[in-house]
Structure 1
Amino acid sequence: MSGHSKWNNIQGRKNAQDSKRGKIFQKISREIYMAVKKGGPDPNMNPSLRMVMDKAKSSNMPNENIDRAIKKGSSTAESENYDEVTYEGYGPNGVAVLVHSLTDNINRTGTNVRVAFNKNGGAIGEKGSVSYMFERKGYIAIEREGLDVDEDTMLMSVLEAGGEEMEASEEAFEIYTDPSDFPEVRDFLESEGYILAKAEVTMIPQTMVELPEDKQGIFEQMLDKLEDDDDVSEVFHNAE
């Protein structure tokens, strides 16, 4: 992770994500619904629901949307069901891409994902072809603008919270944790008064691939196509 800023990729995709805010809320609502169906409506007793609610908060999803999804998941009259499916493949210049989906029609989703790869300089790979290049980690970002805290002080807070690693840039402090420690680290930092710009359990690439300028446009098209799909919940890649 050292030397790689996930925050740069987050900010780089921010405008594209902002334009799809309604679609993002719809996808998160589906994740909340399934989390409630599997583990109940109380986030204190359902870690999966708490993590999805953190994701919703980081995406500025309105509380009323979250409450509506929880209520829907709690209703015995609701019988929707979704399968979690992960697709692996390569983008332009050998960039590794992981696609997580929540779908009620695997054939439809598989076809759409394959087309997004094939028409934008990529190709679907076999199971396990790229997943080994990523590691599941808790990730927290705290923006430094207006924050009167130096790196040493922040590092002490991170270590006291139980975080594994911190990377600092001019824009943000980025904190990585073991997934099992993520809730405690998040809660500790919030109790210390820090505003978390991003807090999630995610997939972190272990090695990065530099994407030439002439390949960046078509790769952005691939990401847009994948993120536009209603069944795709998350897309991870190792493009620098």
Structure 2
Amino acid sequence: MSGHSKWANIKHKKGKQDALRGKLFTKLGKEIQVAVKEGGPNPESNNRLRDVIAKAKSNNMPMDNIERAIKRASGELGAVNYEEIIYEGYGPNGIAVIVQALTDNRNRTAGDVRHIFEKHGGNLGSTGCVSYLFEKKGLIIVEKDDSIDEDTIMMMALDAGAEDFTAEEDSYEITTSPEDFSQVREALESNGITLAQAEVSMIPSTYVALDDETAEKFEKLLDKLEDNDDVQNIWHNAEFPEGWGE
């Protein structure tokens, strides 16, 4: 695969998440509850739950929090029903943005998301206005180190069903179909590979390169969206200037 490295944007986003760890745990808890509602509380038979638990663990979410979220979704601790909503819109300079929300109040969330876009130089669009610019893929990021060579990890990934493997400057980027994501992730983890990021994402087909001024504007929009309790994930096709946020 050629083109822009996705790890640059993920590192930028992950730094924000690290600074908001308590809020991140709350959002992961909601994601766990939705997965349980969809496929039951047993991760052995619920792929989505198994993937979310792995994502929670990679973000250092305590097992107590994970188990509490599963119990809450099972009705043991008073469940809240969340609805998944996808919003599409544009940031400054025409950046394509997809926002995934989990909410118990559709009207509140729609109003909040619209307000954030409009206040920070963007606007919400209709369903489908930018999603055609993205493809749903499993994305696994492994940071490079000296403990394992490129050929070994590439063969592990491809043998497990990965679609593509790319060596970037500081990481390996592995893409899968959404259906094969779990088995590829589990194969790497079972071989002792530490994953810097592993989730099903919306991968852009094209990117919008930002100058410093536009990057600053867009970062404020992202910060406000990420700060919203109902917003779970944000995908975009912005390419931040090299070294931005470091």
**Aligned equivalent of 1:182:** 181
**Aligned equivalent of 1:136:** 136
User: Using the alignment, how far apart are the partners of 2:80 and 2:156 within structure 1?
Assistant: 43
**Aligned equivalent of 1:28:** 28
SS of residue in 2 equivalent to 1:13: helix
| 5+ residue gaps, structure 2 | 240-246
Instruction: Give the C-alpha shift of residue 147 in structure 1.
Output: 2.8
User: Using the alignment, how far apart are the partners of 2:185 and 2:116 within structure 1?
Assistant: 35
SS of residue in 2 equivalent to 1:180: coil
Q: Is the contact between residue 72 and residue 79 of structure 2 (CA under 8 Å) also seen in structure 1?
A: no
The number of residue pairs the alignment matches comes to 239
**Aligned equivalent of 2:238:** 239
**Aligned equivalent of 2:221:** 222
Instruction: Give the C-alpha shift of residue 76 in structure 1.
Output: 5.2
SS of residue in 1 equivalent to 2:51: helix
Instruction: Give the C-alpha shift of residue 93 in structure 1.
Output: 0.8
SS of residue in 2 equivalent to 1:175: strand
Moved more, 199-208 or 96-105: 199-208
User: Using the alignment, how far apart are the partners of 1:2 and 1:105 within structure 2?
Assistant: 41
Q: Is the contact between residue 54 and residue 200 of structure 1 (CA under 8 Å) also seen in structure 2?
A: no
Q: Is the contact between residue 71 and residue 77 of structure 2 (CA under 8 Å) also seen in structure 1?
A: no
Within 5 Å, give how 1:69-84 maps onto structure 2: 69-75=69-75, 78-84=78-84
**Aligned equivalent of 1:13:** 13
Within 5 Å, give how 1:1-240 maps onto structure 2: 2-75=2-75, 78-149=78-149, 151-240=150-239
Q: Is the contact between residue 89 and residue 125 of structure 1 (CA under 8 Å) also seen in structure 2?
A: yes
Instruction: Give the C-alpha shift of residue 141 in structure 1.
Output: 0.9
Amino acid at match of 2:151: D
Identity rate, percent: 54
User: Using the alignment, how far apart are the partners of 2:146 and 2:120 within structure 1?
Assistant: 40
Given the superposition, is the C-alpha separation of residues 38 and 220 from structure 1 closer, same or farther in structure 2, using an over 3 Å criterion?
A: same
Task: Provide the TM-score with structure 2 as the length reference.
Answer: 0.92
Q: Is the contact between residue 100 and residue 231 of structure 2 (CA under 8 Å) also seen in structure 1?
A: yes
Amino acid at match of 1:200: E
Moved more, 64-73 or 190-199: 190-199
Amino acid at match of 1:201: V
Task: Provide the TM-score with structure 1 as the length reference.
Answer: 0.95
Amino acid at match of 1:48: R
Amino acid at match of 2:26: Q
Amino acid at match of 1:126: S
User: Using the alignment, how far apart are the partners of 1:210 and 1:197 within structure 2?
Assistant: 24
Given the superposition, is the C-alpha separation of residues 45 and 234 from structure 1 closer, same or farther in structure 2, using an over 3 Å criterion?
A: same
**Aligned equivalent of 2:242:** none
> CA-to-partner distance for each residue in 1:145-182, whole Å, 9 max, x for gaps?
34331x33332222211111111123111100011111
Instruction: Give the C-alpha shift of residue 11 in structure 1.
Output: 1.3
Given the superposition, is the C-alpha separation of residues 193 and 15 from structure 1 closer, same or farther in structure 2, using an over 3 Å criterion?
A: closer
User: Using the alignment, how far apart are the partners of 1:127 and 1:177 within structure 2?
Assistant: 25
Q: Is the contact between residue 36 and residue 73 of structure 1 (CA under 8 Å) also seen in structure 2?
A: yes
SS of residue in 1 equivalent to 2:233: strand
SS of residue in 2 equivalent to 1:121: coil
SS of residue in 1 equivalent to 2:202: strand
Q: Is the contact between residue 51 and residue 201 of structure 1 (CA under 8 Å) also seen in structure 2?
A: no
Amino acid at match of 2:122: G
> CA-to-partner distance for each residue in 1:177-209, whole Å, 9 max, x for gaps?
011111111111122221112111111111111
Amino acid at match of 1:67: E
| 5+ residue gaps, structure 1 | none
